[in-house]
Structure 1
Amino acid sequence: MALVVRLTLGCPPFRVHAGDCRDTAKRCAPLSAEEARQALAEGVPACPHCRSAGLPQ
């Protein structure tokens, strides 16, 4: 499953999403599983809508 992180121009990453999340937008970029784990470890929160679908909490 592809993972993406929502990006807002000029701002740090906002949330980590599962690739099939309904809350993703055009401002998302693909991440590898390792990059997603790193973002979560650095404090970027998992999306509240899709984290139960396989993202660590």
Structure 2
Amino acid sequence: MLAYGVADPAQLAILTKALNDYCAKHRIICEQERERIAIKVMSLFGRGVDDPDQLATELERAG
């Protein structure tokens, strides 16, 4: 993480993939629901989670 809440391009790609993968797996297409999941992804990132597998696991836990 570059600075608090700032992602470098590689991290941004990981975060985007985590969001897209989760939404595809759970068939989430509603923009509001995707935004809710995106907020969870960013919250996890803000706590230092930027590993793709760990992001997926934590998203599943948070549901």
Larger Rg: 2
Common fold by TM > 0.5: no
Given the two structures, how large is their TM-score scaled by the length of structure 1? 0.31
Which protein is richer in strand relative to its size? 1
Given the two structures, how large is their TM-score scaled by the length of structure 2? 0.29
Which protein is richer in helix relative to its size? 2
